Protein backbone atom coordinates (compact mmCIF):
# COMPACT_ATOMS: atom_id res chain seq x y z
CA UNK A 1 0.00 0.00 0.00
CA UNK A 2 3.02 2.24 0.11
CA UNK A 3 3.90 4.95 -2.37
CA UNK A 4 7.40 3.50 -2.32
CA UNK A 5 6.16 0.72 -4.53
CA UNK A 6 5.49 3.30 -7.20
CA UNK A 7 9.14 4.23 -7.40
CA UNK A 8 10.73 3.06 -10.61
CA UNK A 9 13.81 1.77 -8.88
CA UNK A 10 11.63 -0.62 -6.89
CA UNK A 11 9.81 -1.94 -9.90
CA UNK A 12 10.51 -5.43 -11.09
CA UNK A 13 8.32 -4.76 -14.09
CA UNK A 14 10.30 -1.79 -15.27
CA UNK A 15 13.48 -3.85 -15.02
CA UNK A 16 11.91 -6.47 -17.20
CA UNK A 17 10.85 -3.81 -19.67
CA UNK A 18 14.37 -2.41 -19.88
CA UNK A 19 16.04 -5.79 -20.04
CA UNK A 20 13.79 -7.06 -22.80
CA UNK A 21 14.28 -3.94 -24.90
CA UNK A 22 18.03 -4.13 -24.35
CA UNK A 23 18.11 -7.68 -25.59
CA UNK A 24 16.14 -7.00 -28.73
CA UNK A 25 18.43 -4.05 -29.42
CA UNK A 26 21.50 -6.22 -28.87
CA UNK A 27 20.29 -8.77 -31.41
CA UNK A 28 19.62 -6.16 -34.04
CA UNK A 29 23.12 -5.86 -35.38
CA UNK A 30 23.98 -9.57 -35.53
CA UNK A 31 20.63 -10.25 -37.16
CA UNK A 32 21.08 -7.51 -39.72
CA UNK A 33 23.64 -9.82 -41.29
CA UNK A 34 20.90 -12.38 -41.80
CA UNK A 35 18.42 -9.74 -42.91
CA UNK A 36 15.84 -10.67 -40.28
CA UNK A 37 14.43 -8.98 -37.20
CA UNK A 38 14.46 -10.40 -33.69
CA UNK A 39 10.87 -11.52 -33.93
CA UNK A 40 11.55 -13.18 -37.26
CA UNK A 41 14.56 -14.85 -35.65
CA UNK A 42 12.25 -16.35 -33.02
CA UNK A 43 10.09 -17.74 -35.80
CA UNK A 44 13.15 -19.21 -37.49
CA UNK A 45 14.37 -20.83 -34.28
CA UNK A 46 10.97 -22.42 -33.78
CA UNK A 47 10.97 -23.78 -37.31
CA UNK A 48 14.56 -24.99 -37.17
CA UNK A 49 13.48 -27.02 -34.19
CA UNK A 50 10.35 -28.36 -35.80
CA UNK A 51 9.44 -27.68 -39.38
CA UNK A 52 6.11 -27.85 -41.16
CA UNK A 53 3.88 -26.97 -38.24
CA UNK A 54 0.61 -25.08 -38.18
CA UNK A 55 0.45 -21.37 -37.51
CA UNK A 56 -1.33 -22.13 -34.23
CA UNK A 57 1.58 -24.35 -33.16
CA UNK A 58 4.02 -21.65 -34.16
CA UNK A 59 2.07 -19.14 -32.08
CA UNK A 60 2.17 -21.50 -29.11
CA UNK A 61 5.93 -22.06 -29.39
CA UNK A 62 6.92 -18.46 -29.98
CA UNK A 63 4.34 -16.53 -27.95
CA UNK A 64 4.22 -14.00 -30.77
CA UNK A 65 0.96 -12.15 -31.26
CA UNK A 66 -1.37 -13.79 -33.75
CA UNK A 67 -2.16 -10.62 -35.61
CA UNK A 68 1.51 -9.82 -35.96
CA UNK A 69 2.31 -13.37 -36.99
CA UNK A 70 0.19 -13.12 -40.12
CA UNK A 71 2.17 -10.09 -41.26
CA UNK A 72 5.52 -11.54 -40.22
CA UNK A 73 4.99 -14.80 -42.07
CA UNK A 74 3.94 -12.88 -45.15
CA UNK A 75 7.19 -10.91 -45.09
CA UNK A 76 9.25 -14.02 -44.45
CA UNK A 77 7.53 -15.78 -47.33
CA UNK A 78 8.36 -12.78 -49.53
CA UNK A 79 11.98 -13.22 -48.51
CA UNK A 80 11.75 -16.89 -49.54
CA UNK A 81 12.61 -18.10 -46.06
CA UNK A 82 9.45 -20.15 -45.77
CA UNK A 83 6.24 -21.14 -47.47
CA UNK A 84 2.71 -21.14 -46.17
CA UNK A 85 0.86 -24.25 -47.27
CA UNK A 86 -2.80 -25.10 -46.95
CA UNK A 87 -3.64 -28.07 -44.78
CA UNK A 88 -5.82 -30.30 -46.93
CA UNK A 89 -7.20 -32.19 -43.96
CA UNK A 90 -8.46 -29.06 -42.21
CA UNK A 91 -8.84 -26.11 -44.51
CA UNK A 92 -8.87 -23.67 -41.62
CA UNK A 93 -5.27 -24.50 -40.85
CA UNK A 94 -2.10 -23.53 -42.61
CA UNK A 95 1.28 -25.16 -42.39
CA UNK A 96 4.51 -23.23 -42.30
CA UNK A 97 7.47 -24.85 -43.99
CA UNK A 98 11.04 -23.66 -44.38
CA UNK A 99 12.53 -23.31 -47.84
CA UNK A 100 16.04 -24.60 -48.58
CA UNK A 101 17.17 -21.05 -48.06
CA UNK A 102 15.41 -20.91 -44.71
CA UNK A 103 17.01 -24.15 -43.60
CA UNK A 104 20.42 -22.96 -44.76
CA UNK A 105 20.15 -19.81 -42.68
CA UNK A 106 20.59 -21.94 -39.60
CA UNK A 107 24.27 -22.32 -40.41
CA UNK A 108 24.71 -18.58 -40.48
CA UNK A 109 22.83 -18.21 -37.21
CA UNK A 110 24.68 -20.82 -35.23
CA UNK A 111 27.07 -18.33 -33.69
CA UNK A 112 24.56 -15.70 -32.78
CA UNK A 113 23.77 -17.14 -29.34
CA UNK A 114 27.48 -16.91 -28.53
CA UNK A 115 27.80 -13.40 -29.92
CA UNK A 116 25.06 -12.34 -27.55
CA UNK A 117 26.30 -14.54 -24.75
CA UNK A 118 29.71 -12.88 -24.73
CA UNK A 119 28.06 -9.60 -23.86
CA UNK A 120 26.85 -10.95 -20.53
CA UNK A 121 30.13 -10.42 -18.77
CA UNK A 122 28.73 -10.38 -15.28
CA UNK A 123 26.33 -13.29 -15.57
CA UNK A 124 27.76 -16.76 -15.21
CA UNK A 125 25.97 -19.85 -16.44
CA UNK A 126 24.60 -20.66 -13.02
CA UNK A 127 23.02 -17.24 -12.73
CA UNK A 128 21.69 -17.55 -16.26
CA UNK A 129 19.91 -20.75 -15.29
CA UNK A 130 18.50 -19.08 -12.20
CA UNK A 131 17.31 -16.12 -14.24
CA UNK A 132 15.68 -18.41 -16.75
CA UNK A 133 13.85 -20.24 -13.99
CA UNK A 134 12.62 -17.03 -12.42
CA UNK A 135 11.42 -15.72 -15.75
CA UNK A 136 9.54 -18.96 -16.32
CA UNK A 137 7.78 -18.38 -13.01
CA UNK A 138 6.83 -14.88 -14.10
CA UNK A 139 5.40 -16.15 -17.35
CA UNK A 140 3.48 -19.01 -15.77
CA UNK A 141 2.11 -16.86 -12.96
CA UNK A 142 0.83 -14.32 -15.45
CA UNK A 143 -0.59 -16.88 -17.80
CA UNK A 144 -4.37 -16.60 -17.69
Partner DNA sequence: ACATATTAATTTGCATGCAAAGTATTTGCA
Partner DNA sequence: TGCAAATACTTTGCATGCAAATTAATATGT
Neighbouring residues of 76: CB distance < 8 A, sequence distance ≥ 6:
36, 40, 43, 82, 102
- 104 binds a copy of itself per the rule CB under 8 A: no
CA distance 138 to 2: 23
| Interacting positions 16-55 with DNA (CB under 7 A) | 17, 21-22, 24-25, 28, 37-40, 54-55
5 vs 131: CA distance, rounded Å: 22
5-9 long-range contacts (CB < 8 A, ≥24 apart) are none
- Would you give the binding string for a copy of itself spanning residues 24-63, x where CB under 8 A is met? xxxx----------x---x--xx-xx-----------xxx
Residues forming the site for a copy of itself (CB under 8 A)? 1-3, 5-8, 11-27, 38, 42, 45-46, 48-49, 61-63, 106, 109-114, 116-117, 119-123, 127-128, 130-132, 134-143
Amino acid sequence: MSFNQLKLKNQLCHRLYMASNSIVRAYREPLNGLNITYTQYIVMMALWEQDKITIAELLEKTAIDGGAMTQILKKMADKRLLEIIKDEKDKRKRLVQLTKQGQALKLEAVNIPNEIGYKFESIDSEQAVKLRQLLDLVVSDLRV
